[in-house]
Amino acid sequence: MELQNQPPYELRSARFLAAEVHARVLRPGDTVVDATLGNGHDACRLAELVGPTGRLIGLDIQPEAVSRSRERLAEAGLIDRCELHALSHDRMAEVVPEPVRLIVFNLGWLPGGDKRVTTHWETTERAVRAALTLLQPGGVLTVCAYPGHAAGDEERNALPGLFAALRPQDFNVLHQRFLNAGPGAPECFVAQRQG
């Protein structure tokens, strides 16, 4: 039986899976962390999901990314619920004061920016470990990894080991990748804190 007005299901990329998870997890009034602001597209979507009583904390090591995100959020009328920091994601515990519902990572480089400036496993590992400790019970972490370049390949190859080592009593973890896609296709990791 087909539901009225429901679009047909389409199996799509890691970013779309992450967006679906975000929409299902966040509720008005929640706090969400965008650990890699980029151009602010995810930040706008996340700020809409938490509503006027919610809060988005955004980080990016590149001031240009923070500036672009701030502009996009201001244009959308969402900046009043956002707190943006020009700060490496591995320092998120300095600006995230309490456990949160959702933490989002999109690894790689700033779209439209200098591709030589990218996330690296050394800081990504610390950031993901910090994020896991900052999740409230039932809270979710999504990480979209982009292989196909040296730093991205290193992150993609290391993330499964980090997540596989988590105790199943503490976290459920999902890894989505397309088996028939090219070597640079993004992959999505989703971890939910139990309890």
Provide the pLDDT confidence category of residue 2 given band limits of 50, 70 and 90: low
Cα–Cα distance between 40 and 55 in angstroms, integer? 15
Cβ neighbors of 12 (< 8 A, separation 6 or more) are none
**Predicted confidence (pLDDT) at residue 111 exceeds the cutoff of 90:** no
Which CATH number is 14-193's, of 2.60.300.12, 3.40.50.150, 3.40.1130.10, 3.40.50.620? 3.40.50.150
Q: What is the pLDDT of residue 135?
A: 98
Q: What is the arithmetic mean of pLDDT over 13-34?
A: 95
- Cα dihedral 165, 187, 34, 31 in deg (nearest 10): -60
Q: What is the arithmetic mean of pLDDT over 118-126?
A: 94
Provide the pLDDT confidence category of residue 157 given band limits of 50, 70 and 90: very high
Any idea where the domains of the chain sit in the sequence? 14-193
User: H helices of 13-134, where?
Assistant: 14-25, 41-50, 63-75, 121-134
**Predicted confidence (pLDDT) at residue 6 exceeds the cutoff of 80:** no
Which of 15, 14, 52, 49 is CA-nearest to residue 32? 49
Strand partners, 104: 34, 142
**What distances in angstroms separate CA 33 from CA 40, 46, 130, 142, 154, one per listed residue?**
12, 9, 12, 11, 24
Residues 41-99 have pLDDT tens digits of: 999 999 999 999 999 999 999 999 999 999 999 999 999 999 999 999 999 999 999 99
**Predicted confidence (pLDDT) at residue 195 exceeds the cutoff of 90:** no
**Predicted confidence (pLDDT) at residue 169 exceeds the cutoff of 60:** yes
Instruction: Specify the pTM.
Output: 0.93
> What percent of the chain is modeled with pLDDT above 70?
97
Q: What is the pLDDT of residue 118?
A: 85
Strand partners, 175: 189
